[in-house]
Chains A and B, each alone.
Chain A
Amino acid sequence: MKAWPHPLMTWLPGPALALAGVAVVRWLAPVCTGRTQAVLLIVGYLLVPLGLFLFASRLGRRAAQRAASAPAPDPRT
């Protein structure tokens, strides 16, 4: 399995994406109007679960990587 370039790549991208979604919904969208506001709201509300999904999947892959690299149990024991 391919190794991660840096441990931060597990922890940062998901929360960052989710926080970007929060920023879009709560800061950017309120200052816009009409169709732009609607599009920004939809994008923001999609980014948050996407970020959480990314975070969850990276944690899952980290655990899978750990399981794959764990030494095989000694058949004599």
Chain B
Amino acid sequence: MHLSDVANIFQGLSSFGHSTWLMIFARIGLIILGGVLVYYGRKGVLEPLLMIPMGLGMAMVNAGVLFLDPTTAAVISRSTGEAVMADGTIQGTLMLAPFVERTDDLMYILQIDFLQPIYTFAFSNGLIACFVFMGIGVLLDVGFLLARPFQSMFLAMCAELGTVATFPIAVALGLTYNEAASIAMVGGADGPMVLFTSLKLAKHLFVPITVVAYLYLGLTYGGYPYLIRFLIPAKLRAIRPVARPVVKITSGEKLAFAFVAGTVLCLLFPSAAPLLLSLFVGVAVREAGLHYFTAMIENTLLYGATFFLGLLLGVLCEASTIFNPKVLVLLVLGIIALLLSGVGGIIGGYILYFFSGRKVNPVIGIAGVSCVPSTAKVAQKEVTKVAPDVVILPEALGANISGVITSAILTGIFVSLVPLMQ
């Protein structure tokens, strides 16, 4: 038996051999990266709920490349412009064809690729991002924000430094306005919003942008503690917040805030209305005491959406889909955006520290970055390390929740105004 016959038995190996060297190395690299994500997800360094399905999807989609039959190859080729081989076949997978858009082609692919129905009906229209946002809404207690509105909103605005500053940097690096706005949203540190913005503004780049965003968001948990330790001396990290009487916000007041904020923001940004509705309906369901809905959204919807989000993001990391000449720029801009947002939040913390007569702990500033509730937990963890009896979590959560709303406003601004700048 000849070696090529063995390769033909294992089609995955054979299709590896028919690719360019660059693509072979890219696939091997992505399989290894998938393994790394699973490993660090299991260890708890990265967010396991997202990283384990994503890592597995990433590894297996790159291993499972095969030669598609001529009919399927023609459909894929028509959508992507990729040339078919001499025998009419083309390399692809049986998992997902992200760029097929013509209705008849889509109907054909829906019957072949097993994840295509979820991708077409829940991912490519932003529904999955909205499901995750509903879940976030149910988890948010806006009472923390309403108890300290100025402090929370001020810190959240400062922590959007990365989103605002990365936009002109991205334009200067050669990205279009739409692409720049999409990658700048990584500074908001909110995965669903990055997904939503990139789907609306730069659909051709939404796969690499969303993957970059989720990879980096996983890293905030590991990276921001170093930023806090680097920028805030231990003496300031140990500042105890001034004791105030406990302010109890009623569920009626929280519901009123959700209603007013949601309605006004939808009036202002109709393009981001699905995301805003999802967030505030989650808050409203929680505060109205609809326990069955709360349990359904918090458990079934949020976990179901997160699982399929992770799996689809992994499967979308097939080498030929993700490797775009702009990926390197996106990787650099993503880290700049998150770094600047963290620094902006800490600057906000310092401003409050000085203006309050050195009574506010500046670490709270990092919680303005809206990665709920990771950044608030990171802030509390760093404070606990130097002063175990100091609790800043309620104040940090206020800034954190305000950060989600500020990020939603910035998504609205980008989605509504950036297309007008062309």
Which A residues have a C-beta under 8 Å from some C-beta of B? 11, 14-15, 18-19, 21-22, 25-26, 45, 48-49, 51-53, 55-57, 59-60, 62-64, 66-68
Contacts and interface: CB of A to CB of B under 8 A. Distances in A.
Contact of A26 (B145, B147, B261, B268): B268
Contacts of A45: 268, 413
Contacts, number: 67
B149 A18 contact: no
Interface string B244-272: 01111110010011001100110110000
Contacts of A60: 146-149, 247, 249
A52 B245 contact: no
26 contacts: A14-B260, A15-B260, A21-B264, A22-B264, A25-B268, A26-B268, A48-B268, A49-B409, A52-B260, A53-B150, A53-B153, A55-B260, A56-B149, A56-B257, A57-B150, A59-B253, A60-B146, A60-B247, A60-B249, A62-B253, A63-B247, A63-B249, A63-B250, A63-B253, A67-B246, A68-B245
Given A57-B149, A60-B149, A52 B264 contact: yes
A63 B268 contact: no
B280 to A, nearest CB: 12
A18 B269 CA distance: 13
Given A49-B409, A56-B257, A63 B147 contact: yes
A57 to B, nearest CB: 4
Given A48-B268, A49-B153, A67 B248 contact: yes
Interface string B124-156: 000000000000000000000111111001000
A8 to B, nearest CB: 13
Nearest to A25: B268
A64 B257 contact: no
Interface residues of B, number: 24
A69 to B, nearest CB: 11
Given A59-B253, A63-B247, A63-B250, A22 B146 contact: no
The secondary structure that dominates the B interface is: helix
A22 B268 contact: yes
- By CB atoms of chain B within 10 A, which of A25, A56, A57, A68 has the most? A56
B153 A19 contact: no
Given A19-B267, A22-B264, A26-B268, A56 B247 contact: no
In the A-B complex, list the 3 residue pairs whose CB atoms are closest, starting with the nearest.
Answer: A56-B149, A18-B264, A57-B149
A49 B256 CA distance: 16
A67 B265 CA distance: 30
Interface in B386-422: 409, 413
A11 B260 CA distance: 10
A66 B105 CA distance: 62
A60 B253 CA distance: 9
Contacts of B253: 59, 62-63
A55 B257 CA distance: 8
Contacts of B150: 53, 57
B264 A19 contact: yes
